[in-house]
Structure 1
Amino acid sequence: MRRAARWARAVRWYLRELTGESEYDRYCLHRRRHHPHAPLPTRREYQLLRARHQEARAQSRCC
């Protein structure tokens, strides 16, 4: 049973990393540590902020 649970956690971690879902969690952790009184954006707001940031920095993309 432990092996199956460990395997399931590993698959879940991999899928979250692959899809970028864990980026929001890391962002929230950073904000809580460095800006504890600032409000956290929702996941949707974070995605919009991230998309705007990527569009503003065109040199970071290949196309």
Structure 2
Amino acid sequence: MRKLNMFWQRVRQLSGDDAYERYLAHYNEHHAQPGEAAPLTRADFFKQWQDQKWTGIKRCC
């Protein structure tokens, strides 16, 4: 069961499915200070991620 769980976590990591959880962990470790802005909601996080990924020219030449 442990190996299956580790495999599933790795699949989520490679596919980007755990990106929001990783963002929250980073936020809590580095940015969770009194007076700081609250972390993005899941919807806002994925909207920002999509905007960064698809805004602008995305081609080699």
Q: Give the conservation status (yes or no) of the 8 Å contact 1:31–1:38.
A: no
For structure 2, the 5+ residue unaligned runs are none
Q: Which structure exhibits the higher relative contact order, with contacts defined as CA atoms closer than 8 Å and separated by 6 or more residues?
A: 2
The correspondence for 1:14, drawn from 1, 10, 17, is: 10
**TM-score, length-scaled by structure 1:** 0.64
CA distance in 2 between counterparts of 1:58 and 1:32 reads 33
For structure 1, the 5+ residue unaligned runs are none
How well do the aligned residues superpose, as a CA RMSD in angstroms?
Answer: 2.2
**TM-score, length-scaled by structure 2:** 0.65
How many residues are treated as equivalent by the alignment?
57
Give the corresponding residue for 1:24. 20
